[in-house]
A and B are shown apart, each in its own frame.
Chain A
Amino acid sequence: MKRPPMLMHVKIRGERRGFVLWLPIFLLLPLALAVFIILSPLILISIPVFWPRGWRKRALHIFGAAFEVFSSMRGLKVDVQGDHHCIYISAI
């Protein structure tokens, strides 16, 4: 079982402005769960609509694969630095 990233560090610096962002993903996960619960009636309605069309399998696969991609992001680091700009993204 892969552990999803807990924090995302984003640092963007331009010629004049810049910002540093520590994104607490571990706090966003409960938020995503809350959104899922809110949307659950809509999901329940869409299931019988899409069930006979063969979308069920594909939708389940897409959700699974998207979560797997998200979970695999731990350790990702993108660091681009120039004379006047800097982009740094790191998933911890």
Chain B
Amino acid sequence: MAENKKRVLEMLAQNKISTDEAYRLLSALETEGSTSEDTVKSGTAASMKSKYLRVCILSGSEREHGGKGDRVNVRVPMTLIRSGMKFTSLLPPEARDKVTGALHEKGIDFDMRNLKPEDMDELLEALSELEVDVAGSDGETVKVFVE
């Protein structure tokens, strides 16, 4: 941010841009900076607010026969997910290679070695907006959301 401002001022000093252009560029940079700060703040607030990841599965017969059938209701604290993800960074390199290989065999091109703590925070922030709602033809429903 400060680097960009400095570059604009340097361009002004070298007469590459006019004063008006420099003013416009600096204003644009300031607006961009405040917007990104707001986004980060709102994202952090959302992730702080969300406490649990909920998974609710209701079989079709449950709905039809009023209480009979399979029902799954899981509530996982977000702090547990965060701690669990930190735990993965302690995996030995051999184990990580094995996991990456197994994922690759299943068609998932994901390298665990690239998973960094800052990526995890970003992932958890994004998870706070997650909502999956699947309704099957037989009346079964699957809901995954963060509350």
Contacts and interface: CB of A to CB of B under 8 A. Distances in A.
Nearest to A90: B75
Contacts, number: 55
Interface residues of A, number: 21
Interface stretch (B6-14, B84-92, B94-102, B135-143): B84-92
Nearest to A78: B74
A65 B90 contact: yes
B51 interface: yes
A46 interface: no
Contacts of A61: 90
Interface string A70-84: 011111111111110
Chain B interface size range: 20 to 34
A85 to B, nearest CB: 9
B61 to A, nearest CB: 8
A62 interface: yes
A80 B69 contact: no
A69 interface: yes
B52 interface: yes
A72 B86 CA distance: 12
Nearest to B67: A81
A76 B75 CA distance: 6
Nearest to A79: B73
Nearest to A67: B83
Interface in B50-80: 51-52, 68-77, 79-80
Interface of B: 51-52, 68-77, 79-80, 82-84, 86-87, 90
27 contacts: A2-B79, A61-B90, A66-B87, A69-B87, A71-B83, A72-B79, A72-B80, A72-B82, A72-B83, A73-B77, A74-B77, A75-B51, A75-B77, A76-B75, A76-B76, A78-B73, A79-B73, A80-B70, A80-B71, A80-B72, A81-B70, A81-B71, A81-B72, A82-B71, A83-B68, A83-B69, A83-B70
Interface of A: 2, 58, 61-62, 65-66, 68-69, 71-83
Q: Which 3 A-B pairs have the closest CB atoms?
A: A72-B79, A77-B75, A72-B80
